[in-house]
């Protein structure tokens, strides 16, 4: 079998077989296929795509390209969750303790952010002392004893995805749906869960801005789950405005704690409850979606989810005192208001522009490895559909570098649009697939 023959086959739009795809992945990870040849193959996929079977074979080959997590020693129903990413997306910090409180076992491998704000790992590292670099044994032990753990994605897990993603980023093939699907699902399969829920976001602040593309991605991932015998469901959720009211690492941790305490409700809580209900429905814990929603709401209201969050923080070396004293989280030196130019209703709130503002303040990275400032970000006082009075605060900017402030003020101010009458609020859960 020769690489060039397989490249020509896909270039001509022909279907590859499972052995051919496995050969490609194994040889590439082993360094036997150079980047320039794999780049050509990715471009052939970009133009000619992969069908459902080819995508499943690629996904399975990538999942088997390195180490896998063996969860067999852990009793109970094991679950995982993936988000396609957005602005203010703090769902994992609420969902992980919530489903653990409901009796499921969840071990989540997460990454760092590149863009608007940090990823889940960066957010957790804003908690003093919190350890994200765990051994597999410590990770599995935490899931066994506490029912939950979140740690940083390791290089040994699905190395094919890491190598291929770097090429996709530099060859203009990031948007290929089969490659996106295989990237998402290979990592989840390698983690060995019994069930997975996907949060596919669409809108101005999402990677997939068009509903049609979001639907194609969600359906593709669900189909791959079916192909490989894995229980997968997906929700397509709105990202035309930030999720929640905090954009920035420590600010988002604070918000997650307030949701777990029952101090605030809103869209972050609603999305998290619905995603948790999907996992409960996959498990023996719930027989209907309504039952899953009731269980999730009860675990939040009772404080059991907060208790699991406290246990996770303590188990991973973090200072759980942040739960009772938010002031222990990193705090910016300055805070300024952005005020409404007139009275009316908020009719637009561009998630992407808010994300850019937070990034400029230092909450995100422009390049991998760049340091972030956990204390800065944007805190929203008003969202779409809410009434506002002239000169009332629309948002607060948390900053440490005053030189960036004027640019950010204008960005945030321009992200808001207004109307004289109440607009329709965006539909939060746009579609459900399973």
pLDDT digits (tens, 9 = 90+) for 312-324: 999 999 999 999 9
- Which of 161, 223, 238, 350 is catalytic? The answer is 161
pLDDT digits (tens, 9 = 90+) for 138-193: 999 999 999 999 999 887 889 999 899 888 878 888 889 999 999 999 989 998 89
Indicate the pLDDT class of residue 198, thresholds 50, 70 and 90. very high
Topology of domain 331-419, CATH:
Aldehyde Oxidoreductase; domain 3 (3.90.1170)
- Which of 78, 108, 187, 258 is catalytic? The answer is 187
SS3 content of the chain, % helix, strand, coil (to 5): 45, 15, 35
Topology of domain 78-323, CATH:
Pyrimidine Nucleoside Phosphorylase; Chain A, domain 2 (3.40.1030)
Query: What pLDDT, on the 0 to 100 scale, is given for residue 371?
Result: 86
Pair of tokens at residue 288? 């209907």
Axis-axis angle for helices 304-315, 249-261 (nearest 10): 140
Q: Is the pLDDT of residue 118 over 80?
A: no
- Which string of b and e fits 164-188 if b means at least 16 CB within 10 Å? bbebbeebebbebbbbbbbbbbbbb
Superfamily of domain 3-48: Transferase, Pyrimidine Nucleoside Phosphorylase; Chain C (1.20.970.10)
**In this structure, which long-range contacts are made by residues 128-135, counting pairs with CB atoms below 8 Å and at least 24 apart in sequence?**
128/318, 128/319, 128/322, 128/328, 128/329, 129/317, 129/318, 129/319, 130/313, 130/316, 130/317, 130/318, 130/319, 131/316, 131/317, 131/318, 132/316, 134/316
State the average pLDDT over residues 100-105. Answer: 97
User: Which of the listed ranges 207-211, 225-229, 425-429 does the model predict with the highest average pLDDT?
Assistant: 425-429
- pLDDT top residue among 23 and 70: 23
Taking the CA atoms of residue 74, residue 200, residue 130 and residue 158 in that order, the dihedral angle to the nearest 10 degrees is: 60
- Which of 10, 78, 81, 82 is catalytic? The answer is 82
pLDDT digits (tens, 9 = 90+) for 275-304: 999 999 999 999 999 999 999 999 999 999
Pair of tokens at residue 214? 């979001």
The proportion of the chain whose per-residue pLDDT surpasses 70, expressed as a percent, equals 98
What are the phi and psi torsion angles at 301 (to 5°)? -65, -35
Three-class SS state of 229:
coil
Active site residue 187: yes
The C-alpha atoms of residue 376 and residue 13 are separated, in whole angstroms, by 49
Indicate the pLDDT class of residue 70, thresholds 50, 70 and 90. confident
What residues does CATH 3.40.1030.10 cover in the chain?
Answer: 78-323
- Which of 183, 186, 233, 363 is catalytic? The answer is 183
The C-alpha atoms of residue 335 and residue 32 are separated, in whole angstroms, by 54
State the average pLDDT over residues 227-256. Answer: 95
- Which of 78, 81, 163, 168 is catalytic? The answer is 168
Active site residue 325: no
DSSP state string for 153-206: PPTTB-HHHHHHHHHHHHHT-TT-HHHHHHHHHHHHHHT--SEEEEEEEESTTS
The C-alpha atoms of residue 229 and residue 217 are separated, in whole angstroms, by 18
Q: Is the pLDDT of residue 114 over 80?
A: no
Query: What pLDDT, on the 0 to 100 scale, is given for residue 252?
Result: 96
State the average pLDDT over residues 246-257. Answer: 97
What residues does CATH 3.90.1170.30 cover in the chain?
Answer: 331-419
Query: What pLDDT, on the 0 to 100 scale, is given for residue 115?
Result: 64
Active site residue 82: yes
Indicate the pLDDT class of residue 407, thresholds 50, 70 and 90. confident
Indicate the pLDDT class of residue 58, thresholds 50, 70 and 90. very high
pLDDT digits (tens, 9 = 90+) for 26-42: 999 999 999 999 999 99
The C-alpha atoms of residue 341 and residue 328 are separated, in whole angstroms, by 35
Active site residue 116: no
- pLDDT top residue among 165 and 325: 325
Active site residue 302: no
User: Which of the listed ranges 113-122, 177-186, 270-279 does the model predict with the highest average pLDDT?
Assistant: 270-279
Q: Model's pTM, two decimal places?
A: 0.93
Q: Is the pLDDT of residue 367 over 90?
A: no
């Amino acid at each position: 079998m020769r690489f060039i023959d397989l490249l020509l086959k896909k270039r001509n739009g022909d279907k590859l077989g499972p052995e051919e795809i496995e050969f490609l992945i194994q040889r590439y990870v082993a360094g036997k296929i150079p980047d320039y040849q794999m780049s050509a193959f990715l471009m052939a996929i970009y133009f000619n795509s992969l069908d459902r079977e080819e995508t499943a074979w690629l996904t399975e080959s990538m999942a088997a390209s390195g180490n896998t997590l063996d969860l067999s020693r852990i009793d109970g129903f094991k679950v995982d969750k993936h988000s396609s990413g957005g602005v203010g997306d703090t769902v994992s910090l609420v969902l992980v303790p919530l489903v653990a409180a409901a009796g499921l076992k969840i071990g989540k491998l997460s990454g760092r952010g590149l863009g608007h704000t940090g990823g889940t790992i960066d957010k957790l590292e804003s908690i003093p002392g919190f350890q994200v670099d765990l051994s597999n044994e410590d990770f599995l032990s935490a899931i066994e004893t506490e029912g939950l753990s979140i740690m940083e994605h390791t290089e040994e897990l699905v190395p094919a995805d890491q190598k291929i993603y770097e090429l996709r980023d530099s060859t203009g093939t990031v948007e290929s749906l089969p490659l996106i699907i295989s990237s998402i699902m290979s990592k989840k399969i390698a983690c060995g869960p019994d069930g997975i829920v996907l949060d596919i976001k669409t809108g101005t602040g999402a990677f997939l801005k068009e509903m049609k593309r979001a639907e194609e991605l969600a359906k593709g991932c669900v189909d791959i789950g079916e192909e490989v015998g894995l229980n997968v469901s997906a929700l397509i959720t709105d990202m035309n405005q930030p999720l929640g009211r905090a954009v920035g690492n420590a600010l988002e941790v604070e918000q997650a704690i307030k949701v777990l305490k029952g101090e605030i409700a809103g869209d972050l809580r609603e999305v998290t409850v619905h995603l948790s209900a999907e996992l409960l429905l996959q498990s023996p814990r719930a027989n209907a979606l309504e039952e899953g929603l009731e269980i999730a709401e009860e675990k939040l209201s009772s404080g059991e989810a907060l208790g699991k969050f406290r246990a996770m923080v303590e188990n991973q070396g973090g200072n759980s005192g942040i739960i009772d004293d938010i002031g222990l989280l990193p705090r910016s030196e300055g805070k300024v208001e952005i005020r409404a130019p007139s009275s009316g209703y908020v009719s637009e709130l561009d998630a992407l522009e808010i994300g850019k503002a937070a990034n400029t303040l230092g909450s995100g990275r422009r390049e991998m490895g760049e340091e972030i400032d956990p204390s800065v970000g944007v805190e929203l006082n008003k969202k779409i559909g809410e009434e506002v009075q002239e000169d009332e605060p629309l948002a607060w900017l948390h900053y440490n570098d005053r030189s960036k402030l004027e640019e950010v003020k204008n960005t945030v101010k321009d992200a808001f649009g207004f109307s004289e009458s109440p607009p329709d609020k965006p539909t939060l859960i746009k579609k459900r697939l399973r």
